[in-house]
Structure 1
Amino acid sequence: MTIEAHTGPLDIDAPRPISGFHLLLRTRPELVLAPTILVVLLLAWQYGVVWLDVPTYILPPPSDVVAALWKGLDAGIFARGGYWLHTGVTLWEVLLGFVIGSAAGLILGTIISQVRIIEATFSLYLVAIQSLPKIALAPIIVLWFGFGLTSKVVIICLLTFFPLLVNSMAGFRAVEPERIELMRAIGANPWQMFWKVRLPSALPYIFAGLDMAAVFAVVGAVVGEFVGAQRGLGVLILSMNASMDTAGTFSVFIILSLIGILLHGILRMVERRVLFWSGPGQGAHGSGS
């Protein structure tokens, strides 16, 4: 048997293969860090409550919260004590109020930003209305519109209207004057300048406003249900607080958080499709609005 000696130079600087985990950690570290932080916080919460002997009616451990969440989801779809019926009611209020309020804010913000005399005339009134605490108006709105769906939608509309109004106006103001002058130089009419320059430049600001409005919509729905409602996650929270069911209350918080995350994810997906021409970090969350 003969052994051939390796006479070639050793390639010490040859790159080593990168494992899938290390590649993920380099390219998308948030996909590793975010779950890790969540697990650490849950473990600290679980064992911290036990070690410090905190009563469960003050702060239940995550295991009790998960058990309450499973119990609520395991109930029937139309069960009054279950989560499905109340989640459907709250989600419908959130979506309806979000669409109506955001559309109204976007339309009015677009009109005001395009017509200077309207902005100069109504800006003071808009500031005064925006300064009012919308949450404090909830009892009056329920008194005016009753305990049904309408009062919740009105509250959500008030909370989602101004983020779109303010952000759309800021977006249309942020258009570079050079681009407008260029469009005028090539003979573009106002309608063409709006669709080709003003609206695309304002879209990142508009999506930032939509993201804010989605969060406010969930808050508005719960506040409206606190003031007066027969169904909804806000009603469940009040009922659980009255019976000292803190674990159940925390489980409802999880559902509300999931609704917010769902709306945020849908908006981010639509944003990536609409703002396909924008580079990373230049979309709604990179506009600085």
Structure 2
Amino acid sequence: MLWEWLCVLFKVPVFVLPKPSDIAAQILKDRWLLWQHFQFTLKNVIFGFFLAFVVAMILGFLVSHVRLINRAIYPLLVASQTIPVIAIAPVFIIWFGYGILPKVITTALICFFPLTINTITGFTSVDPEIKTLFRAYNGGWFQTFTKLTLPSALPFIMSGLKISATLSVIGGVIGEWIGSEMGLGYLIIQAGAQIQTARLFGAITVLAFMGILLFLAASLLERLVTPWREAHRA
């Protein structure tokens, strides 16, 4: 309401800062265009997010269970975050062209680190006294992993999943900025170049909506796979 009122009061031009009502009207006008670009971006984001999840689970398990891999890989994981993804994204265009793969890899790289670190933290946070109890009752490695280690790690993994769900939208947009002819990131670049500010804000609003949807989906998955946490909160 304040945004709307200030734009009217100071007679701010639409191309400088559109009112929320202008943005809503533009979204309604561009609904089919936004829907097409939304689908394209969402596909890239989901594929990249899934790739990051699979790699993070495998690497997180190995780093937390094999000491040699921990010493060799963990410092590289931390060091990899000092390189901005947007700086190396053009390399993926050179290697893989302008198809879906560079966008998926860019999304996966942005989602990868929080997922991996939370997975490692989860697998290494098991109470040692309970582990000793499992050994005392002749619990095998598989039983210990499925009934103790994995359930203990799941809250951490789900936290990483929720963080990465919102970050994945950033990865998808960066991939489209570097090279694409479709997607909400591409639409933002085009709208900015043509000074269509209301359309630009409309695309940003739809991106925010996508991020919220992915976060809610991750939260729902968390409730399904860790029902004991909800019972404990209640």
Q: Normalised by the size of structure 2, how large is the TM-score? A: 0.95
Counterpart in the other structure of 1:200: 151
For residues 55 and 281 of structure 1, what CA distance do their matches in structure 2 show?
53
Query: How many residues align structurally?
Result: 233
Matched, 1:53 2:41: no
Distance 1:175 1:119 in 2: 17
Structure 1 residues 247 and 281, CA, compared in 2 at 3 Å: closer, same or farther?
Answer: farther
Do structure 1's residue 180 and structure 2's residue 114 form an aligned pair? no
Q: Deviations over 1:203-252 (max 9, x none)?
A: 11101111111112110111111111011111111111011111111111
SS at match of 2:126: coil
Distance in 2 (alpha carbons) for counterparts of 1:108 and 1:205: 15
In structure 1, the partner of 2:52 is: 101
Contact 1:98 1:217 in 2 (8 A): yes
Partner residue of 1:32? none
What's the offset of the Cα at 1:55? 2.0
User: What amino acid does structure 2 have at the position aligned with 1:197?
Assistant: L
Aligned to 2:82: 131
1-structure distance, mates of 2:230, 2:38? 37
* Paired position in structure 2 for 1:287: none
Structure 1: gaps spanning 5 or more residues? 1-42, 76-81, 283-289
Q: Structure 1 residues 134 and 280, CA, compared in 2 at 3 Å: closer, same or farther?
A: farther
1:105-142 per-position Cα deviation (integer Å, ceiling 9, x unaligned): 11110121011221012222222223221121111222
Q: Which residue of 2 aligns with 1:85?
A: 36
**Identical aligned pairs, as a percentage?**
39
- For residue 237 of structure 1, the aligned residue among 188, 192, 195 is 188
Amino acid at match of 1:212: I
Q: Which residue of 2 aligns with 1:246?
A: 197
Per the normalisation by structure 1, the TM-score is 0.78
Distance between the aligned counterparts of 2:223 and 2:192, measured in 1?
Answer: 40
**Alpha-carbon distance between aligned partners in 1 of 2:158 and 2:232, rounded to the nearest angstrom:** 13
Structure whose CA Rg is larger: 1
When structure 1 is superposed on structure 2, of 53-62 and 216-225 the one drifting more is 53-62
Displacement of 1:281 in angstroms is 8.0
Contact 2:48 2:107 in 1 (8 A): yes
**Residue by residue, what CA displacement relative to the aligned partner does 1:50-69 show, whole Å, maximum 9, x if unpaired?**
11222221211011100110
Q: Which has the higher helix share?
A: 2
1:274 aligns with 2:225: yes
3-state DSSP class of the match of 2:220?
helix
1:67 aligns with 2:33: no
The 3-state SS of whatever aligns with 1:156 is helix
Q: Structure 2 CA distance, aligned partners of 1:147 and 1:93?
A: 13
Cα drift, residue 192 of structure 1: 1.0
C-alpha root-mean-square deviation of aligned residues, in Å?
1.4
Could you tell me whether the CA contact under 8 Å between 1:93 and 1:152 is conserved in 2?
yes
Equivalent of residue 111 in structure 1, options 56, 59, 62: 62
Offset, 1:279:
4.0
Does residue 227 of structure 1 match 2:178? yes
CA contact (8 A) 2:223 2:230 kept: no
With a CA cutoff of 8 Å and minimum separation of 6, indicate the structure with the bigger relative contact order. Answer: 2
Contact 1:49 1:59 in 2 (8 A): yes
Which residue identity does 2:98 align to in structure 1?
F
Q: Tell me if structure 1 keeps the 8 A contact 2:165–2:215.
A: yes
* Corresponding residue to 1:218 among 169, 172, 193: 169
